[in-house]
């Protein structure tokens, strides 16, 4: 990219003289100790595209990569040229394998993953009982934390497979556009506290141990829940819990193992944002939460940063347009007005990024300029990869 007037130069040399550290994607994917890259961020910031571009770039640099998307939209499949993504990794055709790498892609099937876990960890009879249970059906397809929980389960599975067979040496994860920023990390805790919690125990008379003392409390609780939800669901829950009891321990153990894996030096988080107020506010929340949880963050990818190669201020462009107004130079007038708008947008974006950087000066960043067209194929993804890795 050329010099010229662009937001990036303003971020690198803001008035306070503070320099934002550069997020070096090539260094991350070149480090063989990096085994898991997790991309997170709010909805609509280009997470899926970033994940796919990082995965493609890593594979063409010689890594054996699998990219896991949890986004229900079929964008990743589209852009990678894979017809349909299901719960199984599929090889991405047409990538450059000269460096010895490979690229597989898969999309999480939440219910399928849950079913597999049940089948793998219980007797056929018990598995059958669980899979047919109404409560299980609701839990496995609708519960708000199941998607994130199953993503962790799948990530754990892929990691074990990678370690055991050397199928992959890098897993790139595209997280769901979680409503509250870090559901991805909270979900296992939430689901296991739900499945393992006091309340479920209360539903299983006779109450054991000290819980028996809460008998009176329980009858009120049970009566109310029955009133609101109906007796059937309580019975389903009870049946489910009995059948599922043996699985609880395993679930929690694996979730804990995956959590530890995520906090190890083999994993790294990329926070994805765009240079708008809302997206940067979400990104700040992500960075802070990840830091609190002790998760390794490499830095932030700022997508769709606008740039211009023409160093003419919006005021000057508008004044030139005004001079030409009414003449036959309609194209010139429109081009100048558009340029003025673009420059204003660049200023607003630079201002937003400066505010982010001054509050969190240690967060490394890389910026990807706004592309004129949608990213829908491998060559466009490659270009995004180049922009991601490009320092300037």
Partner 1 sequence: MTPRHTWHIVSGKGGTGKTTMAGALACALATSGRRILLCEVEGRNGISELFDVAPLSGAEERRISRTPSGGMVYGLSVDAEDALMEYLDTFYHLSIAGRALDRFGAVDFATSIAPGLRDVLLTGKVYEAVRRKIKNRPNAYDAVVLDAPPTGRIAQFLNVHAAVAGLAKVGPIRNQADSIMRLLRSATTAVHIVTLLEDMPVTETEEAVAALRPTQIRIGTVIENMVTPTPLDHHQLETAAAGSVILKVPGLTIKQNHALASEFAIEAARTLQEQQRHDRLTALGLPLVQVAFDHGAIDEGAIFAIADQLTDQMSLEAA
Site residues (vs partner 1, CB under 8 A): 42-45, 72-73, 75, 134-135, 138-139, 142-145, 177, 179-180, 190, 193-194, 197-200, 202, 217, 220-221, 224-225, 227-230, 233, 237, 274, 277-279, 281, 308-310, 312, 320, 323-324, 329-332, 334-336, 338-339, 341-342, 344-345, 348, 351-352, 372-374, 376
The CA-based angle 130-131-135, given to 5 degrees, is 70
Distance CA 392, CA 387 (A): 9
Q: Which is nearer to partner 1, 136 or 168 (CB)?
A: 136
Number of Cβ atoms within 10 Å of the Cβ of 82:
20
- Is the CB of 344 or the CB of 383 nearer to partner 1? 344
C-beta closer to partner 1: residue 167 or 348 = 348
Min dist. Cβ of residue 150 to partner 1 (A): 15
- As a whole number of angstroms, the distance between CA 188 and CA 190 comes to 5
State which residue, 47 or 154, has the beta carbon closest to partner 1. Answer: 47
Nearest to 266 by CA among 33, 89, 26, 69: 33
Helix 277-292 vs helix 330-359: crossing angle, to nearest 10: 20
In the complex, least distance from residue 260 CB atom to partner 1, rounded to whole angstroms:
25
* Residue nearer to partner 1 on the CB measure, 9 or 167: 9
Euclidean distance between CA atoms 68 and 85, whole angstroms = 10
**CB 193 to partner 1: min, Å:** 7
> Least distance in Å: CB of 316 to partner 1?
9
Question: Least CB distance from residue 219 to partner 1, whole Å?
Answer: 10
Query: 33-55: b or e for each residue (b if 16 or more CB lie within 10 Å)?
Result: ebbbbbbbbbeebbbbbbbbbbb
Backbone angles phi, psi at 104, to 5 degrees: -115, 150
Q: How far is the CB of 366 from partner 1 (least distance, A)?
A: 20
Q: For the CB of residue 29, give the shortest distance to partner 1 in the complex, in Å.
A: 26
SS3 content of the chain, % helix, strand, coil (to 5): 55, 10, 30
Residue by residue, what is the 3-state secondary structure of 38-104?
Answer: EEECCCCCCHHHHHHHHHHHHHHCCCEEEEEECCCCCHHHHHHCCCCCCCCCEECCCCCCCCCCEEE
CA separation for the pair 77, 73 (Å, rounded): 9
Tell me the backbone φ, ψ of residue 68, rounded to 5 degrees: -110, 120
CA dist., res. 281 & res. 286, Å (int): 9
Phi, psi of 298 (to 5 degrees): -80, -40
Q: Which lies closer to partner 1 via its Cβ, residue 123 or residue 141?
A: 141
Closest separation between CB of residue 238 and partner 1, Å? Answer: 13
Q: Shortest gap between Cβ of 64 and partner 1 (angstroms)?
A: 30
The nearer residue to partner 1, 261 or 370, going by C-beta atoms, is: 370
Residue 68 or 181: the one with the smaller Cβ distance to partner 1 is 181
Q: Which is nearer to partner 1, 190 or 382 (CB)?
A: 190
Output the smallest distance, CB 348 to partner 1, in A: 6
Closer Cβ to partner 1, 40 or 65, answer by number: 40
- Please list, residue by residue across 310-335, b when 16 or more beta carbons sit within 10 angstroms of its beta carbon and e when fewer do: eeeebeebbebbeeeeeeeeeeebee
């Amino acid at each position: 990219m050329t010099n010229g007037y662009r937001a990036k130069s303003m971020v690198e040399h803001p008035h306070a003289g503070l320099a934002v550290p550069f997020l070096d994607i090539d260094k991350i994917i070149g480090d063989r100790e990096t085994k898991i890259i997790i991309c997170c961020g709010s909805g609509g910031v280009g997470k899926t595209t970033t994940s796919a571009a990082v995965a493609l770039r890593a594979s063409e640099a010689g890594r054996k990569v699998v990219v896991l998307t949890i986004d229900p939209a079929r964008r990743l499949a589209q852009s990678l040229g894979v017809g349909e993504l299901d719960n199984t990794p599929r090889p991405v055709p047409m990538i450059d394998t000269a460096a010895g790498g490979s690229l597989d892609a898969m999309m999480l099937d939440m219910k399928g993953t849950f079913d597999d876990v049940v089948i793998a960890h219980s007797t056929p009879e018990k598995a059958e009982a669980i899979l047919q249970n109404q409560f299980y059906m609701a839990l496995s397809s609708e519960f708000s934390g199941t998607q994130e929980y199953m993503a962790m389960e799948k990530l754990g599975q892929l990691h074990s497979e990678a370690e055991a067979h050397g199928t992959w040496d890098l897993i790139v994860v595209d997280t769901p556009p979680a409503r509250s920023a870090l559901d991805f990390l909270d979900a296992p805790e939430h689901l296991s506290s739900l499945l393992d919690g006091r309340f479920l125990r209360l539903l299983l008379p006779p109450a054991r141990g000290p819980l028996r003392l809460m008998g009176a409390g329980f009858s009120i609780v049970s009566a109310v829940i029955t009133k609101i939800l109906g007796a059937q669901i309580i019975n389903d829950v009870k049946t489910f819990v009995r059948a599922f009891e043996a699985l609880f321990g395993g679930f929690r153990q694996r979730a804990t193992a995956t959590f530890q894996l995520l906090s190890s030096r083999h994993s790294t988080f990329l926070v994805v944002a765009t240079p708008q107020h809302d997206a940067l506010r979400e990104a700040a929340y992500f960075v802070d939460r990840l830091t609190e949880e002790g998760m390794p963050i490499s830095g932030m990818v700022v997508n769709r940063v606008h740039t211009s190669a023409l160093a003419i201020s919006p005021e000057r462009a508008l004044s030139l347009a005004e001079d030409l107004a009414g003449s036959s130079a309609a194209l010139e007038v429109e081009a100048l007005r558009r340029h003025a708008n673009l420059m204003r947008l660049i200023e607003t974006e630079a201002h937003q990024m400066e505010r982010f950087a001054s509050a969190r000066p240690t967060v490394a960043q890389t910026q990807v300029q706004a592309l004129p067209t949608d990213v829908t194929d491998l060559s466009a993804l490659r270009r995004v990869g180049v922009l991601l890795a490009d320092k300037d």
